[in-house]
Amino acid sequence: MLPLFGIQLAWRLAIASWRCPFHYIRCAQGRVRSISSRVRRTLHGSSDDIGWLQQTPGMAPVEDGTARFLELLECIRNGEHTLPDSFVYLLIPGLFSNHGPLYFVATKKFFSKKGLACHIAKIHSEASVEHNAWELKQYIEELYWGSGKRVMLLGHSKGGVDAAAALSMYWSDLKDKVAGLALVQSPYGGTPVASDILREGQIADRETRRIMEFLICKLIKGDIRALEDLTYEKRKEFIMNHKLPEEIPLISFHSEASVAPGVLATMTHIAHAELPWLPLPNFGGEESDNSAQAGRQVPVVIPVSAAMAVCALHLQLRYGEKSDGLVTCRDAEVPGSVVVRPNQKLDHAWMVYSSWKKNPTEPDPCEMCEALLTQLVEIGKSEQGKKGVGSSSTSNSTT
């Protein structure tokens, strides 16, 4: 029995010695495959997702309204303001707008000086799309019942996505209260920036998500879904489940950021810093309260345009796509909308923040917003005219 036992033990040891290397080889092969898959997924990025709205069958075509927009913009710059006061104008800010005190402020003042009822929606910009859709629904109803006027919506960036979600989800409650929607530089189809940051299965995906959760959830007290809802995966799911109503007048505005070297020196005015210990002296004599208060405000400027230029160059080199720095032009075009494509090079923040150095020969964001809303009013009137003609012809044929 002893020799037999020795043979069996030797055989088992031999098998175990063979199994151990094979096990390590299999583990190594699996690890290599996993790493190569992550590398491929990281390098591929959002190549198949950009412009998916135009590639999906059944999506309504867009109409080019750039020429009419430029005509209206020229009229406004010449002093012809035709925007009616029969509507309430609601400006809807985008992601991280709660941390930019001057977001849409100049546009609101511009409209208010012309006697128009204009409001900036007070929503939590770092909340999810569905949460803000519910908030906007209530906000619109309050404005409508308080004024008796229908509401014109203009949403920038994620604000346009939030507004579109409100109309898609609560159209039965809002159809008599909303007159139109202009989406300005909005990632309606998604944005490669959000998808490339939060894509699962790529290199360092868990670490990147933990960093973003810390920045958004812990640092600025927001919701990670605010960024996650702008990924292609989430936008495809939402749009397929919640279609925009066909009867609502829509405008999609998108632009291309400049990547010229001169943009790197452009500073953007985003806020005022209160410095009560540095009052400006009044050289005209007696110091007034207003001048003292103005002397305590110091403008806060940061190189937003430079950051947008770097992001736009990255998207152009990696995907070959034109963008405003955060949103590609193709992803900003809403199916069934009138699309405005300005010739002027504008980054993603230009429409809501003023540049430190303004060019008087070019239109400013306030004038562009007025032109967009004026065009939106025209589209609404033309669609009402078509409905009126259609209903009259139907009644005549019935008679």
Helix, strand or coil, per DSSP, at residue 346: coil
Inside any domain, residue 212: no
218 is a domain residue: no
Domain assignment of residue 318, yes or no? no
Residue 16 domain flag: no
3-class state of residue 58 by DSSP: coil
Q: Has residue 102 been placed in a domain?
A: yes
The whole-number pLDDT of residue 264 equals: 61
- CB burial of 237-249 (b: ≥16 within 10 Å; e: otherwise) equals ebbeebebeeebb
Q: How far is CA 25 from CA 11, 35, 243, in A?
A: 22, 15, 51
SS3 (DSSP) at 95: coil
pLDDT given for residue 388 in this prediction = 62
User: Does the residue 108 lie in any domain?
Assistant: yes
Model-level pTM?
Answer: 0.83
pLDDT score at 390: 57
In a domain, 277, yes or no: no
The boundaries of the domain holding residue 145 are 44-189+233-258+328-384
Amino acid identity at 347 = D
Residue 197: the pLDDT is 92
Assess contact for 365 and 350: CB atoms under 8 A. yes
pLDDT at 284: 46
Which pLDDT belongs to residue 288? 46
Distance CA 71, CA 304 (A): 29
**Contact (CB, 8 A) for 117 and 149:** yes
What is the per-residue pLDDT for 343? 87
286, part of any domain:
no
Task: Residue 335: give its domain's CATH number.
Answer: 3.40.50.1820
Buried b (16+ CB within 10 A) or exposed e, 149-171: bbbbbbbbbbbbbbbbbbbbbbb
Q: Please give the C-alpha separations between residue 262 and each of 17, 154, 265, in angstroms, as whole numbers.
A: 67, 30, 6
- CB of 310 within 8 A of CB of 222? no
Locate 74 and state its tokens. 């020229």
**Residue-level pLDDT, tens digit, the chain, 399 residues:** 656 666 776 667 667 666 666 666 777 777 777 788 778 888 888 999 999 999 999 899 999 999 999 999 999 999 999 999 999 999 999 988 877 778 898 899 999 999 999 999 988 888 999 999 999 999 999 999 999 999 999 999 999 999 999 999 999 999 999 999 999 999 999 999 999 999 888 888 888 889 988 988 888 888 899 999 999 999 999 999 998 998 999 999 999 998 877 666 565 555 555 555 545 455 444 444 444 444 556 555 566 778 888 899 999 999 999 999 999 999 999 999 999 999 888 989 888 876 556 677 788 899 999 999 999 999 999 887 776 655 555 445 554
Q: Strand 297-302: give its sheet, edge to edge.
A: 297-302, 268-274, 354-355
Q: How many domains does the chain have?
A: 1
